């Protein structure tokens, strides 16, 4: 398998070259085009039990598996403008990706729902994490550019939850920035507080803030 990204960092696309029998798993809607013969299967990949489906509040969670029947070329793109970053995983690695940032993966990786919270809890939206474990690689996407930050031992970083793309396995908790006045009037919502050692991946733009800006420009009836 060979891969390459194009048009970084604003409108990045991923090209993957597959030999017969090789597979790649991608989020729905990421397909752009392909060359060669591909077999495509759509399923939950065994991620969701009945309990976890209830935990997700009835939302669907499906992934597309592309398997090369012949030597093939597959192009994938995120759903919004931004960058793509490849992260190598080892069998001892546990990695967390926020909802919407997962683009694709390959190898022997187990994907599961890690946590979903903040709904109806004075929150602006929700936080929905995917947990990935195993050997292989994952491509994550962002709105805006991706900034990698190493977090040292016992070092604490706080990141707006709308800007945190992914992180390695480390101690973390969800909290608010400032008091209730800041929360309701200051335009700031929930933050993720992480404690190292580990690495975090941050996107330089916030999709909810863009949506709010557009909504404010739409004339009210």
User: Residue-wise over 83-100: b if at least 16 C-beta within 10 A, else e?
Assistant: bbbebebeeebebbbbeb
Domain-located, residue 182: yes
For position 87, which CATH number holds? 3.60.160.10
Beta strand spans in the chain (E): 2-6, 13-18, 23-26, 31-35, 38-43, 63-68, 72-76, 84-89, 94-98, 102-117, 127-141, 146-151, 156-160, 164-168, 171-176, 190-195, 198-203
Tell me the residue range of the domain where 191 lies. 2-216
List helix spans (H) across the chain.
Answer: 50-55, 180-185, 207-217
Tokens of 160: 């707006």
Domain-located, residue 152: yes
Question: Angle at the Cα of 47 (from 41 to 48), degrees rounded to 5?
Answer: 110
pLDDT for residue 100:
85
Residue 168 near residue 137 (C-beta atoms within 8 A): no
Report the alpha-carbon distance of residue 193 to residue 178 in Å, rounded. Answer: 13
Domain-located, residue 221: no
**Residue-wise pLDDT tens for the chain (221 aa)?**
999 999 988 899 999 999 999 999 999 899 999 999 999 999 876 555 534 544 554 445 689 999 999 999 999 999 889 999 999 999 988 899 987 899 999 999 998 887 655 443 334 445 678 899 999 999 999 999 999 999 999 999 999 888 999 999 999 888 877 654 444 444 456 788 999 999 999 999 988 787 888 888 888 87
Domain-located, residue 32: yes
């Amino acid at each position: 398998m060979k891969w390459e990204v194009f048009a970084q960092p604003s409108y990045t696309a991923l090209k993957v070259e597959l030999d017969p029998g090789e597979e790649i798993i991608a989020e729905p809607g990421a397909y752009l085009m392909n060359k060669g013969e591909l077999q495509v299967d759509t399923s939950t990949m065994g991620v969701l039990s009945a309990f976890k489906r209830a935990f997700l509040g009835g939302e669907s969670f499906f992934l597309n598996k592309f398997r090369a029947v012949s030597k093939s070329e597959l192009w994938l793109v995120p759903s919004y403008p931004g960058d793509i970053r490849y992260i190598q995983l080892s069998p001892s690695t546990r990695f967390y990706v926020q909802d919407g940032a997962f683009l694709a993966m390959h190898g022997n990786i187990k994907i599961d729902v890690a946590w979903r919270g903040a709904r109806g809890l004075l929150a602006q939206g929700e936080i929905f994490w995917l947990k990935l474990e195993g050997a292989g690689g994952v491509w994550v996407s962002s709105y805006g550019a991706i900034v990698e930050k190493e977090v040292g031992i016992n070092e604490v970083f706080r990141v707006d939850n709308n800007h945190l793309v992914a992180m390695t396995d480390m101690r973390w908790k969800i909290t608010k920035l400032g008091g209730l006045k800041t929360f309701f009037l200051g335009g700031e919502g929930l933050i993720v507080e992480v404690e190292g050692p580990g690495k975090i991946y941050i996107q330089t733009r916030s999709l909810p803030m863009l949506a709010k800006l557009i909504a404010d420009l739409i004339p009210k009836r």
